[in-house]
Amino acid sequence: MLTLYSIYTKKVLPSVNQEVCLLSYYNNAYSIILFIPLILVNGEATVLMNYGHFHSWFNESKNTLWWTSNVIVLASSAFYARFKQQEMEEKSRRAVPIEKRSLV
């Protein structure tokens, strides 16, 4: 399935001017549009509304180590995504020889 998604992404990327962030935004927006009717049809809306642990999770107190570890993980993920974005932008600016261009 991941292979099909990669092929589809490579095919659609020129439609969004090679902007991965914009493609990701569109994927998320379409997912919201598709999943809301599925949630309603399957009767999961009432389950979500009656989920009791959702409100209690926000009222829990977390210690400093918990917050520190979350900040480290989130910051590391953000840095990794930014470096990969820069690497992809640099690769897309380079001209690809005709012999090495993909048919997909």
Spatial contact of 104 and 11, defined as CB atoms under 8 Å apart: yes
Task: Tell me the C-alpha distance between 21 and 59, whole Å.
Answer: 33
Entry pTM: 0.45
pLDDT of residue 8: 85
Tokens of 27: 């994927």
For each of the chain's 104 residues, which pLDDT tens digit applies? 778 888 888 888 888 888 888 888 888 999 999 999 999 999 998 888 888 776 676 677 889 999 999 999 999 999 998 998 888 888 877 766 666 655 55
pLDDT at 33: 94
**DSSP string across 18-87:** T-HHHHHHHHHHHHHHHHHHHHHHTTHHHHHHT-THHHHHHHS---HHHHHHHHHHHHHHHHHHHHHHHH
